[in-house]
Structure 1
Amino acid sequence: MKKLSIYAGLMAFSAMSASAIYAAPDGRADQDGNRIITKAEAMAAADAHFAMMDANADGTLNDSDKTAMLAKRFAAIDTDKNGSISQAEFMAAHEMRDEHRADRREKRMEHGKMGKRHEHEGGRDGRMDIMARVDSNGDKAISQTEFRAAAEARFAKADANKDGSISPDERKAGRKGGWNEPMAPAQPNGG
């Protein structure tokens, strides 16, 4: 059972990483509720995602963050804290995950947001490809600078009229027009 939950945790980390890096500047970044996302709001959202994923707070997303997140996930499932996950603990975690998914689906339906999400990622291999594109120096880790560069590139692509903000119409057009396709970020330090 340990292997199953560790694999599930790794997939969750991988999905979270890719979606945080390549998620379209969507309504969740809109801090003031005016339905327009400024670059400052988009970057604040990117910084918050990075901080959440940087489990060891070393300023880099790498295997040690995956390990820390997997350990946290394992500890959450291992409710009796005996170092192993029983079938009952595994099933309870699975049911809780299904409930959370149903809650999110219901909220999206309430807000009219039932489109397919992150279709461009193409499963695990696609997420790993996205991670490799963000890793501009090829060190198999993503620094905050690389992460921000990817977020800035996504913002620039979404800001179709280049006015420094993303309107609801730009978000809608972008979802249809492909700005949510993976792209390499601008190189840090102007490179």
Structure 2
Amino acid sequence: MRKLTLSVLAAAVAASGIAAATPALAQQGRAPQAEMTRAQAEAKAGERFARMDANSDGVINAADREARRAQLFARLDTDRNGQISQAEFAAQRRGGADGDRAAAANGEKRQGAKGAHRMGGRGMGAHRMGGMMADANRDGTITRAEFTAGALARFDRIDTDRNGTVSEAERQAARQAMKAQREARKAQRQAN
């Protein structure tokens, strides 16, 4: 009985530690993320590259951006009349059953408003990835090698203890550092 009580107490203490960490992340709208190894980061970069290379020609360029914009428009234009109505736009933003049904009717997997923003958003248009130029040779196209190199450079920058794994604490520190940099740039712009 005493062993059972100690086990329950130990579990409660462990749970309270997790619960104490979770509100800070939940307050920021983030769930705790699992640790990520460098190999996992490389694999994830390959997956992202494949999704962004809309025409599967091995590079990300203006043609891919245009194809993604066309895909986004087609996803939003559920009645296929060449225009996006307020109702169609609202259904996509809601992310509710209307958006899910419309995507299913078109044989597509629904990405939601957040995914839609990323498809044609400033990150892809500016050839940026995590604030870092992915187009290393600035030729207007991003190769898989450039994309992966950018992802791994970002991983290495966040992996401050250099153990080959990025922890939630390292992610949080990187977020705070990026936030401080943004605020400093904003203050400098306002001063000028």
Q: TM-score of the superposition, structure 2-length normalised?
A: 0.56
Distance 1:127 1:137, change over 3 A: same
> Could you tell me whether the CA contact under 8 Å between 2:76 and 2:88 is conserved in 1?
yes
What RMSD over aligned residues (CA atoms) do the two structures have, in Å?
Answer: 3.4
Instruction: State the alpha-carbon separation in 1 of the partners of residues 145 and 41 from structure 2.
Output: 15
Identity of aligned residues (%): 35
Q: Does 1:137 align with 2:137?
A: yes
- In structure 2, give the amino acid aligned to 1:71: A
Which of 82, 93, 99 is matched with 2:94 structurally?
99
| Paired positions, count | 127
Classify the secondary structure of the residue corresponding to 1:57: coil
* Corresponding residue of 2:51: 52
Structure with the bigger RCO (C-alpha within 8 Å, sep 6+) is: 1
Query: SS at the partner of 1:154?
Result: helix
Consecutive unaligned residues of structure 2, counting only runs of 5 or more, are 1-29, 97-120, 183-192
Larger radius of gyration: 2
State the 1:96 CA deviation: 2.5
Unaligned stretches of 5+ residues in structure 1: 1-25, 102-122, 183-191
Please tell me whether the aligned partners of residues 74 and 80 of structure 2 are also in contact (alpha carbons under 8 angstroms): yes
Residues 38 and 154 (structure 1), Cα distance of their counterparts in 2 relative to 1, 3 Å cut: same
1:52 Cα deviation from its structure 2 partner:
0.9
Any conservation in 2 of the 1:135–1:146 contact (CA below 8 Å)? yes
Q: Could you tell me the TM-score, scaled by structure 1's length?
A: 0.56
Deviations 1:87-109 (A, max 9, x none): xx4213321332239xxxxxxxx
Q: Contact 2:156–2:162 (CA<8 Å) still a contact in 1?
A: yes
1:78 and 2:73 correspond: no
Residue equivalent to 1:69: 68
